[in-house]
Structure 1
Amino acid sequence: MTNPTLAAGAVERHLRARRDTGRGLLMPYVTGGITPGWTDYLRAFAAAGADAIEVGLPFSDPTLDGVTIQQAGETALARGASTRRILADLSGMPDVGVPLVASTYYNLVLHDGHEAFCAALRRAGVGGLIVPDLPVHEADELTDVAADAGIELVLLASPATPQPRLAEISCRSRGFVYAVSLMGTTGERAALAVSAAELTERIRRVTDQPVLLGFGISTPDQAREARRHADGVVVGAAVMRRVLDGAGPDDLRAFLATLRQALDQECDRPR
């Protein structure tokens, strides 16, 4: 069932409130429809201390995703996953207690139409939307329609984003600003990109919105380092690799608990 208390702006208010207590924010990702009982992962994520959860709506031509997320999407699509089925699954589950943020490519939004797509998200209890291939200068219509439906459209910023454009993205993004740590696709990496620190510092010059850092954050040490620069982290490929390898909800809860602990330890460090 959908969350009856979900209100417009709830994603940003929730993240701000947690950030303002000094908490490092954790947003894990799962591809919708990846397994028959995939919504069990959402409950495990929340139990592990997630502050929000990103739910991927798989698309057949994911230009920004690396190998792992591509494989997850292909697996879900082969199982018959679709936007309607994934949102129906979300509608049929109890509220997990943290905001849900959908992510997908603009083709799927256009396929249903802005109004219908955002209304379907809202009925499913989703509060935010990430569309990585939608540039800020083309986002006006979806931004307005999403806002009318109570959906917060999250915009992305990369290390290559010029400062004037970064200011516009930070001003117009809702929920949080998604800081892409490097120029490349999603995927696990051996170390946090050096460009992450500079990007988050530039974002902080122009907004006080929560800033979540994603792309390549795979280990507790990387989460701890990312927290020194951003308000929190998005963790996708490291989660989905484990799911593809057969990890169940309890396994993922244990993994995310290590990231939660690392974020909390960094927050407790003397400043």
Structure 2
Amino acid sequence: MITGKERIANSFKALSEKGEKGLITYLTAGFPSPDHTLEVARELALHSDMIEIGIPFSDPVADGPVIQNSSYHALERGIRLSNIFNLAGKIREGTDIPLIFMTYYNPVMRYGIENFVKSSHESGVDGLIVPDLPVEEDHPLRECAQKYGLSLIPLVAPTSTDERISKISGRTDSFIYCVSVTGVTGAGKEIGDLKTFSCRVRKNTSHPLAVGFGITGPGVARRLAPYFDAVVVGSAIVKEMDSGEGLPVIVDRVGRLAGEIKATLRNGCDTGE
């Protein structure tokens, strides 16, 4: 049976062979309801190369207001890890694309590292992103992830030194998540010199690079795609899910947004030069 990290690696390999850049879409588990999560994820699977499922947490320090609010709402509605594993399993039933949990370390520790990773594996999840877990402290989780064939995906930022990027690369088994702006996700800040950033990361790794935090639509994705192997879109999708419209309307809007971004990544990119 294929392992999670193999599924992720195969996805990037297929994209490279087609000359495409990947689209990784994000949604918060349980927001605005578990039914919304499931139906929107099924729609996203038609347009995405991977789906990132955010696990709500009460102190989401790496997230901007849109995703923070979605986490608080989901927790207030009573979403629990057991529900999220069940949701992931239902999403897996309808798609073969990689599924990745984004979670803070506290919920993992509370649930128990092995129990969390084992349940993730049994739910069909392929990888984990833990933004508040430094690489120097990730050995227990990484060891357990390897046991169950999951990838533990690290983050690097423009402020990361070459030495740190090289260290992170040596512990990576799938791809590296590049933060395009320092600070929280979804921040509408001026995008810095991403070409220089991507070149610096590539100088220190041979792994594929995904870029996220602040990607609002096709235009930003078009600017980023020449320098990275995939883009991550989160806040823009969660914002659509917070529109207050009925579920069919939300599914349609999210599907159109993801479809437009994927078309940009499939049909060519603007290097800005």
The amino acid that maps onto 2:51 is: I
The yes-or-no answer on 1:257 pairing with 2:259 is: yes
Match of 1:91 in 2: 89
Given the alignment, which residue of 197, 203, 215 partners 1:205? 203
The verdict on how the C-alpha distance between 1:264 and 1:80 changes in structure 2, with shifts beyond 3 A counting, is: same
* Whole-Å separation in 2 of the counterparts to 1:57 and 1:210: 24
What is the root-mean-square deviation in Å for CA atoms of aligned residues?
1.9
Deviation, 1:77, is: 0.9
Query: In structure 2, do the counterparts of structure 1 residues 64 and 164 end up closer, same or farther at CA, with 3 Å as the change threshold?
Result: same
- Following TM superposition, by how much is the alpha carbon of 1:17 offset from its aligned partner in structure 2, in angstroms? 2.4
- Does structure 1 conserve the Cα–Cα contact (< 8 Å) formed by 2:3 and 2:150? no
- CA separation in 2, counterparts of 1:139 and 1:95? 32
Q: Is the 8 A contact 1:19 1:210 kept in 2?
A: no
- The amino acid that maps onto 2:24 is M
Deviation at 1:84, TM superposition (A): 1.2
CA–CA distance in 2 between the matches of 1:12 and 1:76? 31
> Structure 2 CA distance, aligned partners of 1:7 and 1:216?
27
Q: Could you say which residue in structure 2 is the equivalent of 1:266?
A: 268
Worse overlay, 150-159 or 241-250: 241-250
**1:96–1:209 CA distance, 2 compared to 1 (3 A):** same
1:183-198 mapped onto 2 (5 Å cutoff)? 183-189=182-188, 191=190, 193-198=191-196
The answer to whether 1:224 aligns with 2:222 is: yes
Number of the residue aligned with 1:139: 138
Is 1:45 the counterpart of 2:49 in the alignment?
A: no
Deviations 1:41-62 (A, max 9, x none): 11111112x0000000100000
Corresponding letter in the other structure for 1:233: V
CA apart distance, 1:250: 1.6
1:18 Cα deviation after fit: 1.6
1:17 aligned residue? 14
Rounded to whole Å, the distance in 1 between the matches of 2:264 and 2:172 is 27
1:235 corresponds to which residue?
Answer: 233
Deviation at 1:210, TM superposition (A): 1.4
Task: Report the counterpart of residue 147 of structure 2 in structure 1.
Answer: 148
CA distance in 1, matches of 2:217, 2:87: 30
> What's the CA shift string for 1:45-99, capped at 9, x where partnerless?
1112x00000001000001111000011111111111111111122234232211
Unaligned stretches of 5+ residues in structure 2:
none
Residue type of the partner of 1:252?
A: V
Distance in 2 (CA, whole Å) between partners of 1:65 and 1:141 is: 25
Quote the residue 2:158 is aligned against: 159
Q: How far, CA to CA, are the matches of 2:209 and 2:198 in structure 1?
A: 7
1:129 aligns with 2:131: no
C-alpha distance 84-5 of structure 1, shift in aligned 2 (>3 A) = same
Detail structure 1 runs of 4+ shifted over 3 Å in the superposition. 4-8
TM-score by length of 2: 0.91
1:26 to 23, 26, 30: 23
Instruction: State the AA in 2 paired with 1:47.
Output: L
Question: How far apart in 2 are the matches of 1:17 and 1:268?
Answer: 22
In structure 1, give the amino acid aligned to 2:23: L
Flag structure 1 segments of 5+ consecutive residues without an equivalent. Answer: none
Query: 1-side partners of 2:187 and 2:44: how far apart?
Result: 19
Alpha carbons 1:188, 1:237 under 8 Å: kept: no
Preserved CA contact (<8 Å) 1:29 1:236: yes
SS in 2 for 1:55: strand
DSSP-derived class of the 2:268 partner? helix
Paired residues, number: 265
Equivalent of residue 80 in structure 1, options 78, 85, 90: 78
2:50, 2:99 within 8 Å by CA — same for their partners in 1?
yes
Percent of paired sites with the same residue: 33
Following TM superposition, by how much is the alpha carbon of 1:8 offset from its aligned partner in structure 2, in angstroms? 4.7
Given the two structures, how large is their TM-score scaled by the length of structure 1? 0.92
Query: Could you tell me how far 1:12 is from its partner in structure 2?
Result: 2.1
Tell me, in whole angstroms, the C-alpha distance in 2 between the residues paired with 1:78 and 1:207.
41
Instruction: Give the superposition deviation at 1:233.
Output: 0.3
